[in-house]
Amino acid sequence: MNSIVLGDRTEETVRIYFEQAQKTSIKSMLPQKATTVEEAIADYHETLLPTATSYGKTILADGTYVGDIWCYCIDKTDTPNAMLSYCVFDESSWNKGIATSATLLFLKEIKNKYNLESIGAFTFSDNLASIKVLEKSGFELIETFEEDGRESKYYQIGL
Burial 86-116 (b: 16+ CB within 10 A, else e): bbbbeeebeeebbbbbbbbbbbeebeeebeb
- Say how far apart CA 106 and CA 59 lie, in whole Å: 10
What is the per-residue pLDDT for 114? Answer: 92
- Say how far apart CA 143 and CA 150 lie, in whole Å: 14
**Residues 111-147: pLDDT tens digits?**
999 999 999 999 999 999 999 999 999 999 999 999 8
Angstrom distances, CA of residue 27 to CA of 16, 18, 89: 15, 11, 10
For the ranges 22-31, 82-91, 100-109, the lowest mean pLDDT is seen at 22-31
What is the per-residue pLDDT for 108? Answer: 96
Question: Does pLDDT of 107 surpass 80?
Answer: yes
What's phi and psi for 115, nearest 5 deg? 55, 40
What is the per-residue pLDDT for 53? Answer: 93
13 vs 33, which has greater pLDDT? Answer: 13
For the ranges 24-28, 80-84, 150-154, the lowest mean pLDDT is seen at 24-28
CB distance 100 to 135 below 8 Å: no
**Residues 24-76: pLDDT tens digits?**
888 888 877 888 999 999 999 999 999 999 999 999 999 999 999 999 999 98
What is the per-residue pLDDT for 1? Answer: 55
Question: Does pLDDT of 2 surpass 80?
Answer: no
Which domains are assigned to the chain? 4-158 (3.40.630.30)
